[in-house]
Amino acid sequence: MSEPSIFSRIMAGEIPADILYEDEDCICINDIQPQAPTHVLIIPRKAIARLADATAEDKALLGALMLRVGDIARKLGVDDAFRVCINNGERAGQTVFHLHIHLLAGKSFSEGSLSMQ
């Protein structure tokens, strides 16, 4: 069995984090290395490694996570302009293999910033 992810360890209270919100589905924390003035991670409690590993069983959970993104954006006053990102797989920049949604706001995003090398 694989080691618990850093996010599972945060949820278990083993590692401190700046928690903005939590409920039975997810936890929302500030990213430790923010890439924008607002950089929140929305993380399901269920340890799904990658988005590509989610199944039909996770349909309601994935919906709940997306709705939570909007709620957090409104709570932080950035709902007029934010970007959402999910990195899936090492070659796409995923470093923590526990599904999470990045919510980024507070800087201008150029169209080109979605480019991949």
98 is catalytic: no
Q: Which is nearer to ligand 5GP, 55 or 95 (CB)?
A: 95
The window from 54-62, 70-78, 94-102, 107-115 that contacts ligand 5GP (CB under 6 A) reads 94-102
Give the nearest distance from C-beta 53 to ligand 5GP in angstroms.
14
Contact window for ligand 5GP (CB under 6 A) among 56-64, 69-77, 89-97, 105-113: 89-97
Pair of tokens at residue 49: 């490694």
Q: How far is CA 60 from CA 26, 69, 114, in A?
A: 12, 14, 27
Query: Contact between 6 and ligand 5GP (CB under 6 A)?
Result: yes
SS3 content of the chain, % helix, strand, coil (to 5): 30, 20, 50
Q: How far apart are CA 99 and CA 15, in angstroms?
A: 18
